[in-house]
Amino acid sequence: MNRGFTRLDLVAVLCVLVIVAGVVGVPFERSRRASRLETCRANLAKVSAATLAFAKDQQGRLPAPEEGRGELQWWYKEQVKGHAGLRGPSGTNDALFACPDDRGYTDPTPFHQTARFDFGSYCFNGVTLPGVPSIAGWPVADVVEPSKTLLLMEWTAHGPLSWHRSRTGRRNAPFYRDAESVVGFVDGHVALVPIYYDGFNAAYTRDPIAGYGYRYSGR
């Protein structure tokens, strides 16, 4: 006798569909994350090239503070963006300066959608606070280890946190050691690197201990 399609049959079918969706969804999500990371790498490589092109036009000097501008670490963008092909006022459409995984920090929107960060996800190694290492206004030729000295970085390298392989999910706390950020170096190469954290001080306030492949100071 044909008993028809029962409720148990429906439950079984739904269970199978959930399992199939999970099996298919995992590699899809991995591919999506990899694509977003690659977009971020490519963007930062182009912004790094623009920053170095700016320096070449300024007798070899990297961006320095300008009167009337915001913090150099963000507003360097106004000095270099012309070398990246951008014209006019900065805004939310400046895709080159945006990391797709940027989730901001204290603001409810990503850095690249916020005017006070000059609509950018990437910081210049130019924090101009007493005792903090930076290369603000430096001649590129004076940087002792250009292959290890940071030029630009995702904001997360300041924490550190990670936008790409986060151990805190979408949360921006707590900071943790070896959080990975996309960074650009003075020699022009870009990499995803673990950032040192001593458990107390923000990462950008000092160079890391031995064993890390980057530094904030130029010498």
How do residues 85-137 score in pLDDT, each as one tens digit?
A: 999 999 999 999 999 999 999 998 999 999 999 999 999 999 999 999 999 99
* pTM for this entry: 0.86
Is 128 inside any structural domain? yes
Q: How far is CA 23 from the centre of its chain?
A: 30
pLDDT exceeds 90 at position 25: no
State the Cα–Cα distance between residues 154 and 123, nearest whole angstrom.
6
State the Cα–Cα distance between residues 10 and 215, nearest whole angstrom.
59
Contact 61, 137 (CB under 8 A): yes
Q: Is pLDDT larger for residue 173 or for residue 14? A: 173
Domain hosting residue 182, numbered range: 7-205
Domain count, the chain: 1
Is 25 inside any structural domain? yes
* Rg from Cα positions in the chain: 22
Is 93 inside any structural domain? yes
- pLDDT confidence bin for 28, thresholds 50/70/90: low
Is 214 inside any structural domain? no
Is 56 inside any structural domain? yes
At position 90, the amino acid (one-letter code) is: S
Q: What is the mean pLDDT of residues 160-173?
A: 96
Q: Is residue 13 packed enough to be buried (19+ CB in 10 Å), middle (13-18) or exposed (0-12)?
A: exposed
Is 47 inside any structural domain? yes
Is 212 inside any structural domain? no
pLDDT given for residue 21 in this prediction: 46
Contact 197, 212 (CB under 8 A): no
pLDDT exceeds 70 at position 143: yes
Is 72 inside any structural domain? yes
